[in-house]
């Protein structure tokens, strides 16, 4: 299986090298390359790519203040998701929460969609007593969800804006519901 990841890394790496800037690449391509690096033990290569991406985003923000650039967030969301899938929820969730800071700039329908899936998966496994989660991680999740409630009132939680039931489902609404589930899980 590792050979497949090595092969994929070589192909993705070729695309990235041909691009003049990492930000000109699709964020998913960069995320897949980082995942391949991580799964083949090339963490330093993944870190270098993340540093390059961070530098380019910083430059782009300086050139166009207020521009919403999600490349680094998406790559880190994918990496965080990888760790959650592998069962390392604490590291994965912490990475996801950190990458969405500052939340007022990074919260969107896309980032919410992927972050809530990891949080829900962790909560489900926690409720089923399949994993233990440190109190600090739960507190971080609750604080994150509270911030999502504050900043997600105008952000749709669905890709298809037309709701089947005639009401708009927002990030704030879903964050409130998820926070309630966390509180119930803590109490039981």
* Alpha helices, H only, the chain: 2-18, 27-39, 43-63, 71-85, 89-99, 103-106, 109-127, 135-151, 171-187
> pLDDT, tens digit, for every residue of 3-32?
899 999 999 999 888 888 889 999 999 999
> pLDDT, tens digit, for every residue of 149-183?
999 999 999 876 555 555 678 999 999 999 999 99
Quote the CA–CA distance of 129 and 14 in Å, as a whole number: 44
Q: Classify the C-alpha dihedral 9-50-94-58 as positive or negative.
A: negative
Residues 6+ apart with CB under 8 A from 18: none
Q: Where are the domains of the chain?
A: 1-69, 71-188
Quote the CA–CA distance of 11 and 5 in Å, as a whole number: 10
Mean pLDDT of the chain: 91
> pLDDT, tens digit, for every residue of 85-103?
999 999 999 999 999 999 9
Give me the pLDDT at residue 66, please: 81
Give me the pLDDT at residue 183, please: 95
């Amino acid at each position: 299986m590792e050979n497949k990841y090595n092969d994929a890394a070589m192909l993705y790496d070729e695309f990235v090298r041909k691009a003049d800037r990492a930000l000109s690449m699709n964020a998913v391509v960069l995320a897949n390359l980082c995942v391949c690096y991580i799964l083949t033990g090339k963490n330093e290569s993944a870190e270098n790519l993340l540093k390059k991406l961070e530098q380019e985003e910083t430059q782009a923000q300086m050139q166009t203040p207020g521009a919403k650039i999600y490349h680094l967030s998406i790559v880190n969301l994918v990496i965080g998701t990888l760790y959650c899938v592998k069962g390392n929820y604490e590291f994965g969730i912490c990475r996801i929460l950190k990458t969405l800071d500052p939340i007022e700039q990074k919260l969107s329908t896309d980032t919410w969609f992927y972050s809530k899936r990891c949080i829900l998966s962790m909560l489900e496994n926690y409720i089923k007593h399949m994993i233990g989660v440190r109190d600090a991680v739960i507190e971080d999740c609750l604080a994150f969800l509270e911030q999502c409630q504050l900043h997600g009132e105008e952000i749709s939680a669905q890709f298809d804006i037309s709701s089947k039931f005639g009401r708009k489902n927002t990030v704030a609404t879903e964050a409130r519901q998820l926070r309630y589930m966390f509180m119930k899980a803590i109490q039981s």
